[in-house]
Amino acid sequence: MDIAQIQTKAVQFLANMAKSPELALPVMIIVVITMFVIPVPAALINMLVAVSLTVAILTILVTMHANEPLQFSSFPSVILFSTVFRLALNITTTRAILLNAHQDEEAAGAIITTFGTFVTGNNYVVGVIIFLIIVIVNFMVITHGAQRIGEVAARFTLDAMPGKQMSIDADLNNGLITDQQARERRKTIEMEADYFGAMDGASRFVQREALAGLIIVGINIIGGFILGVAIYKMNWLEAVQRYTVLTIGDGLAAAIPSLLISTATGVMVTNAASGANLSTEIVRQMLGQKRVLTIAAGVMGAFTIFSVFSGSFGLVFSLLIITLILGGFALAFDRLGLGQQESAAGRPAPAGGRPGSGMSGAPAPSAGTQQGHPPSAPYASPEAVSALLYVDPMELEIGYGLIPLVDPDQKGDLLDRVTMIRRQTALEMGIIVPPIRIRDNIQLRPNDYSIKIKGVEVAGGSLMVDHFLAMNPGGATQEIEGVNTTEPAFGLPAKWIREGGKEQAELLGYTVVDPASVVATHLTEVIKSHAYELLGRQETQELVNIVKEKHSVVVEELIPNKMELGDIQKVLQNLLRERVSIRNLALILEALADYGTLSKDVNVLTEYVRAALARQICKQHQMNDGTLPVITIDPKLEDLVLQSVHDAGTMSYPVLPPEVIDKLTENMSKMVEKTVQLNYQPIIMCSPRVRMYVRRLIERLFPSLTVLSHSEISSDCKVRSLGMVGV
């Protein structure tokens, strides 16, 4: 089969693809995979290079004629697949050059040979310089700028979403648009956010491709020279000439489409706000003012005067002056004619547009004008930089798909739930939870959320906004349909079900909650688990000041005569770490005042405080019948733990042999599993002298396991042993 037949078959193949566009992408992927592993004849390489260049030209033309981003919504995918295609083509041409260039100058196709000879003037030094300039311009200027614009556009689009949503809801409530129009607008807003998020990532493909092209060319030149001289026995000058020319031709054949795609990327993200054809907008805005054209003509006149003395380029500036003056006169006459037409009509059209249009066609107001300062406001002065150093104590970051949960206009009540969580935590744990900052994060997936404490993520999850979470509390025997998942707060198996299946699931015995409740529950558990991290010296001082209003005597006796504020903070943190409420702070301070002179070890003082809170601790863990099921520790194990305690100065901790720890872990796991099967909360009981050491031994393996001592059992608490753990 000759070259003409191959090209004819290729054209027929492309024509068939045009009739069945749904097959184009799968076929392209197969072609790319084939190009990676199978040598391709030179005639087909010509066709593939031409296709690459054609796709790049089509892409930049489409971007220039698109009035809005969603008219070319597939552009991020086009960037991805065109980049992969060009890289596969690079591999194909590299294989052809290295294997066959010593025999045939057109081993990689006539197009690449033409790029390497005609474009570079058959001078490989010139070719290298041209290629480097193209790559530098592409990598350091166009792709870098397009990437930055894509990042900012994605950020601003996401920030504007709440304002746009509120504008749609306002128009809907005022009867200016229908429900269908509101749904279409909301869908458009979500599609725009998805588009700019995808563009933010797609721009990186183009940038890295430019760098990869430079590296590939360097490798090909060096590899070709080695092959030509060492294996194919070519003259070294001939090897350098041939492989460099062909490699530069290959690089230019890939760099030019890459440059066009990079330019198209920049055009698409920079033209996002114009809402009109790019060419029309540029001509209208740059050549639409007579005064500007006149001033430009005057400046060119100054250059013309200067050129008279040099005598070299006066004609060029003279032609430009004539063009600018004629353009200014044409613009003036055009506006004069327009004014006469308006006068003949009697009066100009009303500013509101055509009659009956209402406000449904008006664009949604920008979120930046509705929600405070413009994005540049925080950086308006050097002093404002200090605000960036502040780290929020607690943050809840959400993907843009979860914004309805926090938007009151969309019946989102998560903000109210967070307020209730802070109140509930104050009642249960005795601490004042700092304000929880809720913000969107474009780096998260649309339906994901992240909980951070002091800037570090400690928990997160994923929701399905239009579904409900169904959990089996243990009594439901019949399965329900849904998407399997894990409840994020407690790690329980669950299913996301549709709203229509909620009632049936509840009748079958499942516990069904909405997405906002899932987030609220998870947030509550995170606060309880990390409450000790939220209690600093400043927060401790605020709590002490509250107690001092009614219990000033104990505060004045304790601070600073017996204990420093930092030591009190550490005691309170020890209690919160094991989920012991510090709400009865007056009693805690009384205990510290009693025992503060006996020991300066905050861990020992914590044990004294726990004994003083015995009734509260027992009440927290008692069953409804007043009993307290516990797992006891073998006295021999207690002695072994006590004997292994190592004093490190600032703290003491047990150091048991590895085989003892393994045996303890095994026995403890069995007892905990047995207790859970009996529907009891696992609680360990031991003597006061080893309680904190036992806690340190097991907290890594069983972080939620409660460890009590005999001194923490109140007189009215009935203890029931479920078993004993030993080694």
pLDDT in tens, 442-467: 889 999 999 999 999 999 999 998 89
Nearest Cα residue to 456 out of 399, 395, 400: 395
Q: Is pLDDT above 80 for 209?
A: no
Q: In the chain, where are the structural domains located?
A: 3-282, 290-336, 398-531, 550-612, 622-727
Residue 367: band (very low, low, confident or very high) from pLDDT cuts 50, 70, 90: very low
Average the pLDDT over each of 300-304, 431-435, 496-500, 683-687 and give the range with the smallest value.
Answer: 300-304
Q: What is the pLDDT of residues 644-689, one digit of tens each?
A: 888 776 677 788 888 888 888 889 898 988 888 888 889 999 999 8
How confident is the model at residue 553, as a pLDDT?
A: 94
Residue 610 is predicted with a pLDDT of 94
Task: Specify the pLDDT at position 457.
Answer: 94
SS3 content of the chain, % helix, strand, coil (to 5): 65, 10, 25
Tell how far CA 655 is from the center of its chain. Answer: 43
Residue 473 reports pLDDT greater than 80: yes
Q: Which residues contact 320 (CB under 8 A, 6 or more apart)?
A: 297, 300
In this prediction, residue 607 has a pLDDT band, given cuts at 50, 70 and 90, of very high
Identity at 360, one-letter amino acid code:
S
| pLDDT tens digit sequence for 395-420 | 999 999 999 998 888 888 888 898 89
Task: Assign 315 a pLDDT band (cuts: 50, 70, 90).
Answer: low
Q: Which of 102-106, 432-436, 710-714 has the lowest mean pLDDT?
A: 102-106
pLDDT at 369: 34
- Strand ranges, E, within 374-474: 394-398, 437-440, 448-453, 456-462, 467-471
Average pLDDT over the chain, rounded to an integer: 79
Task: Give mean pLDDT, residues 171-178.
Answer: 65
Q: pLDDT value at position 288? A: 66
> Is residue 406 a contact partner of residue 438, using CB atoms and an 8 Å limit?
yes
Cross-strand partners of 653: 646
Say yes or no to pLDDT of 122 above 70: no
Q: What would the pLDDT profile of 220-277 be if each residue is shown by its tens digit?
A: 778 877 877 777 777 777 777 777 778 878 887 888 888 888 888 777 777 665 556 6
Q: Is the CB of residue 319 less than 8 Å from the CB of residue 303?
A: no
Q: Is the pLDDT of residue 370 over 50?
A: no
Q: Which pLDDT score is estimated for 355?
A: 36
Cα–Cα distance measured from residue 352 to residue 354, given in angstroms and rounded to the nearest whole number: 7
What pLDDT was estimated at residue 66? 78
pLDDT greater than 70 at residue 217: yes
More confident residue, 2 or 292: 292
Higher pLDDT, residue 704 or 198: 704
What are the residues whose beta carbons fall under 8 Å from the beta carbon of 360, sequence distance 6 or more? 171, 176, 177, 181
Query: Span 70-86, mean pLDDT?
Result: 81
Residue ranges in 287-313 assigned as alpha helix (H): 290-310
* Domain 398-531: assigned CATH number: 3.40.30.60
> Angle CA(50)–CA(56)–CA(60) in degrees, nearest 5?
145
- Whether the ω angle into residue 560 lies within 30 degrees of 0, i.e. cis, is yes
d(C-alpha 267, C-alpha 273), whole Å:
11
Q: Identify which has the larger pLDDT, 4 or 393.
A: 393
CB-based burial label for 429 (10 Å; 0-12, 13-18, 19+)? buried
Confidence at 171, pLDDT banded by 50, 70, 90: low
DSSP label of 348? P
CATH among 3.40.462.10, 3.40.50.12790, 1.10.3720.10, 3.10.20.30 for 622-727? 3.40.50.12790
Return the top range by mean pLDDT from 191-195, 423-427, 623-627.
Answer: 423-427
Which of the two residues, 379 and 391, has the higher pLDDT score?
391
- CA angle (398 as vertex; 396, 399 as ends), nearest 5: 165
- Cβ neighbors of 181 (< 8 A, separation 6 or more) are 360
Would you state the pLDDT for residue 6? 58
Mean pLDDT of 593-611: 91
Q: How far apart are CA 462 and CA 122, in angstroms?
A: 59
State the pLDDT at residue 468: 94
Whole-number Å distance between alpha carbons of 79 and 150: 14
Cross-strand partners of 222: none
pLDDT tens profile 94-112:
888 777 777 666 666 777 7
Residue 519 binned pLDDT confidence (cut-offs 50, 70, 90): very high
More confident residue, 224 or 551: 551
8 A C-beta contact, residue 182 and residue 422: no
Mean pLDDT of 57-72: 80
Residue-level pLDDT at 257:
85
* Tens digit of each residue's pLDDT (9 = 90 or more) over 141-156: 777 676 676 666 666 6
Compute the average pLDDT of residues 430-437: 90
Mean of the pLDDT values across residues 596-617? 91
Burial (CB < 10 A; 0-12, 13-18, 19+), residue 262, is buried
pLDDT exceeds 60 at position 126: yes
Q: Between these two residues, 287 and 569, which has the higher pLDDT value? A: 569
% of the chain beyond a pLDDT of 90: 24
Task: Specify the pLDDT at position 107.
Answer: 67
Q: What is the mean pLDDT of residues 127-148?
A: 74
**Residue 632: band (very low, low, confident or very high) from pLDDT cuts 50, 70, 90:** very high
Looking at 3.40.50.720, 2.70.240.10, 1.10.340.30, 1.10.8.540, the CATH number of the domain 550-612 comes to 1.10.8.540
Question: Phi/psi at 608 (nearest 5 deg)?
Answer: -65, -40
The contacts of residue 170 (CB under 8 Å, 6+ apart) are none
Higher pLDDT, 129 or 286: 129
What confidence category does residue 183 fall into, taking pLDDT thresholds of 50, 70 and 90? confident
Strands 467-471 and 511-513: antiparallel
Q: What is the pTM of this model?
A: 0.50
The pLDDT value given to residue 172: 66
